[in-house]
Structure formats: C-alpha cells, structure tokens
Structure 1
Amino acid sequence: MLGTLLPVSGLYADTSTDSGSEQAIEQFLDLQVSRYAASIGSQDYHIRLKPLRDLPDCDEPLQKTLSDPEEPIGRLTITLECHRPQYWKARAKAEVEVFLPLVVAKQTISRRQLIKLDDLSLKRSNIAYLRRNYFTSPDDLIGQTSRRKIIAGKIISPKMVESPQLVQRNEEVIIEATYGAMTARMKGIALESGAKGNTIRVRNLSSNKEVFATVTGKQRVRTTF
C-alpha cells in the first residue's frame, strides 16, 4: 500500500541518541523522501548524503529543516540546529533521486504527427528536475498531436504535444443545443478553430445568431439555451 504525503512542518525532531551522525540524518531524509515518493506512486529512490564535517556536541536531539519539504528531490539542504549546551547551526547537503516509469518516444515522432500507442514506451527515469512535466501513462498521449519533432527515447512533456483541432475556422459544424431534457441539432459555421473541450464562437445558420459552444468531436459542438 502506498503512503500519502503528510503535512510537513518546518522543524523535525530526531529521537536518535546520535542525532549528529550521518546515519541519523540519512534516516531523517529517508522518512521524508519515502513519504513523497509514495505520494506519487513510487518506491524507487536513492539518497546520497555528502560527507559531513565534525559537528559540535549537542545535549538534545538536533532540529532538522529541509530546504524543500514539499518536494524533497534533487539538490537539498538540511539545516541542523542545536540549542544546548550552546546554540549552533550547520548545514548538510544531499542529492535525492526518485524514479518513475515515464512515457518516452519509442521512435522519432515527426512534427504535427498524430500520436499512437505504437509511438510510445515507458522508461525508468529520475524525476528530480522534471517538476512534474511528464506523463506516466501512454493513454494520456494517444490522439494528441506533436508540436515539434520528438527524438526516440526523449521524455515527452506537456509542452511537446497538443490536442488536435477538431473544428476549423469557417467550416460547417453540427450544433447540438440542449434545453432541459430537450435536444436540438442544427447546422452552423465555426467562427474559430478549437480542440475538444474548447469554447468557440459559432454562427447558427438557421437564425444567423452567434453563440458560444463547446467542441465535442470532429465538426461537432454543444451549447445550451
């Protein structure tokens, strides 16, 4: 069962008797990273803590603050604070990798190409510096159109694709109008192009009035009266 990302406060108390050791800091990091990884559906991660200098003695568990507690991935700084016997502060550095199977181009995809399942594959990838600009399911890309050439093996980001234009400006469309339980269909002219879900202006050929309608399919829109 995957865990959930718990609310993270600014300070963390360590119950280890050797709170200044690398092992204690690694345990602290492992807890935070494992929670985050589980929240995005991963149990595949790696933590690399840079060697620490000798730390002064501390009579109480160190307080620890992550530089990015909400997304503890990539280059992180862990601030260590002690208040007894005297106050001191130090910083530790770490590199955190979290891996997910991400959608990549199986072969080179040409610009303006309609994407099919055969064009895609999954590849184990480090998401540390992708900031969620990726897809984890090929189903999210099928039927999309590439905005530019995508080379084989490249992780596909949302900026690389777009929904195809199902309605073109100045072409004839079918307007489906609903009023309560009643539905009427009539011919119209699209005054704007649009992809599925877009709201565009169309002219009703029966009344010659302009209305706003939502693109629902190829040369089809829906509006309400």
Structure 2
Amino acid sequence: MATAARPRGTASPRPRAPSPRPCALLLLLLIGSAAAADRPRQSPEALEAAAEAFLEEALAEAYEEVEVTARGLDGRLSLRPCNAPLEAFIPHGRDPLRASTVGVRCTGEAPWTVYVRTEIEARSSVLVAARPLQRGARLRRSDVSAAMRDVRRIHGQWYTDPQEVVGQQVRRRLRQGEPLTASQLEAPVLVERGERVLIEAGRGAAIRITSRGRALDDGRQGERVRVENLDSGQEIEGRVIGEGRVRVGF
C-alpha cells in the first residue's frame, strides 16, 4: 500500500516537555519559605526596647515619672541582624516630650533605619486649683496646691512655684484640681476706674509729692492710666505702681 508523502518544509512535531505538577510548585514554595524563616533577622523587641530606652533617658531629668510604650511595629519585619549597637534618634529634631515616632538605625555592615511609634506619659508635680475658682478671683496661697499630672495633657505653660501665681487674677472659672496655666491667669487690675487713688510725683526717693486723685481708667502693674487730681481738678496721666497708686513725672 502506498503511503502519503509528507509535505516538504514541514517539521515533524516534537513532544512537549511535561509541565511541573502543582504539588511540585507547592514543594518549592514551602522550601523557599522555610529557608527565609531560618534566616536570622533583627528582633522587633530589640527595636522597641531601643526606642523606649532612648526616650525615657531623654525625659528622665525634666520629669519625675516617665513611661514610654512602643506601638505599631510590624512583627513580620525582616531585617538583617545589626552587628553594631542600635542608634535611636528623634526625626526632624522634635521636642522629646512631643515625639510620637522614634527612629532606630543600624550603622553596621548592612545599614538600615526603621521608625517606631511611641506613646509617652510624663508626670510631674504641678500647681492646680485647690478649690473651684471664679473668674476675676485674685489667687491666694490657699487657693493652689500641688498634684501629679501628665504634662503632655496640659495645654500651655504650667507652674510649679506658688510665688509665680499668688496675686494673679483668674481669667475664667477653674474646677478644683484643674492645672493652672499661663493662659488662665493675668496680672490683676490694681487701679479701677472711678476709685480713689494716691498720686505720687517726683524723681527718685529724695523728692516725692503725693496728692489725692480719681482713676479714669482701669490699670494693671506698669500700665499708663488717666487720673484726675482732686486738689486741682486737672486730668493727668501716670503709670500704675501698686494697688491704688499711680506715679506721674514732672
């Protein structure tokens, strides 16, 4: 029987190479994962400890009680172990008290840098209102007391020395135990409009003349106010130098 002739230029089909079986691919992935798991890596706990110790040391001298807790470091982080001491730093030179992130870097053979989120509690003894205080009240020593507070939660400048606040005037109502801050206090009004004042005139301590007057303005320490000289009826201007006292020059 005659056989059909193969057309010229047509290559005989080659057998296809068998494709890898799914189980073989899975085995390769497992082997690769096992090798990666066995590779030494930098301990995340060591990174957190370095960040916490750095901030605690930076704040220890300024505050009585400091507690720093590292947050949010990914436990799956895979870094080559550092063969040099870890270095912690505050990004962009921020105030340590307000630092929410601490950088930790390795300067060894394989350098790297990571950033660790932190939570800070810094407690100190600060002045607080010893009782409820009404707006306009002049602070006495018995109106203030000391209490431990987390200063990160205090907005504004706080006080530790009673001498800094005694005699100051409360700008708004304060609750008992509320920390005293600069924005809540102001210099008291020493001369009130319409009240009788003592007018002092002179240069230096050698010459001093006093007369009776009536304030035409409210005034705090060092402010200039208008007063009426009750002896002459003349309106003059002077500087408040004390409670109910105004000094004028001549």
Q: Tell me the TM-score normalized by structure 1.
A: 0.71
Unaligned runs of 5+ in 2: 1-42
Q: Deviations over 1:43-90 (max 9, x none)?
A: 322121226344523454444331475632255211234455455332
Q: Describe the SS at the equivalent of 2:50.
A: helix
Q: Is the 8 A contact 1:68 1:76 kept in 2?
A: no
Q: Structure 2 residue aligned with 1:109, among 133, 136, 159? A: 133
Query: Does 2:53 align with 1:27?
Result: yes
Summarize the alignment of residues 70-109 of structure 1 with structure 2, pairs less than 5 Å apart.
71-74=95-98, 76-82=100-106, 85-86=109-110, 88-109=112-133
Please state which structure has a larger fraction of its residues in strand: 1
Partners in 2 of 1:169 and 1:44 — Cα distance?
A: 48
Q: Structure 1 residue aligned with 2:67, among 23, 43, 46? A: 46
Partners in 2 of 1:222 and 1:126 — Cα distance?
A: 44
Query: Does 2:211 align with 1:186?
Result: yes
Query: Does 2:192 align with 1:171?
Result: no
CA deviation after TM superposition for structure 1 residue 152, in Å: 1.9
Q: Is the 8 A contact 1:188 1:202 kept in 2?
A: no
CA deviation after TM superposition for structure 1 residue 220, in Å: 0.3
**Matched positions, count:** 201
Q: Is the 8 A contact 2:50 2:88 kept in 1?
A: no
CA deviation after TM superposition for structure 1 residue 95, in Å: 1.5
Partners in 2 of 1:21 and 1:160 — Cα distance?
A: 41
Q: Deviations over 1:76-115 (max 9, x none)?
A: 2112344554553321111122211222222222333333
- After TM superposition, the structure 1 stretch with the greater mean CA deviation from structure 2, 54-63 or 24-33, is 54-63
Unaligned runs of 5+ in 1: 1-17
Q: Describe the SS at the equivalent of 1:152.
A: coil
Q: Structure 1 residue aligned with 2:242, among 217, 220, 223? A: 217
State the Cα RMSD in Å.
3.2
Q: Is the 8 A contact 1:74 1:95 kept in 2?
A: no
Q: Is the 8 A contact 2:140 2:167 kept in 1?
A: yes
Distance 1:43 1:123, change over 3 A: closer
Q: Is the 8 A contact 2:135 2:172 kept in 1?
A: yes
Partners in 2 of 1:69 and 1:223 — Cα distance?
A: 50
Q: Is the 8 A contact 2:51 2:103 kept in 1?
A: no
Partners in 1 of 2:238 and 2:92 — Cα distance?
A: 44
Q: Deviations over 1:108-148 (max 9, x none)?
A: 22333333333332211010132543222334333333333
Q: Deviations over 1:4-46 (max 9, x none)?
A: xxxxxxxxxxxxxx9x6333333322221124x1xxxx33221
Show the counterpart of 2:172: 148
Partners in 1 of 2:54 and 2:208 — Cα distance?
A: 60
Query: Does 2:147 align with 1:123?
Result: yes
- Aligned sequence identity (%): 25
Amino acid paired to 1:31: E
Show the counterpart of 1:56: 79
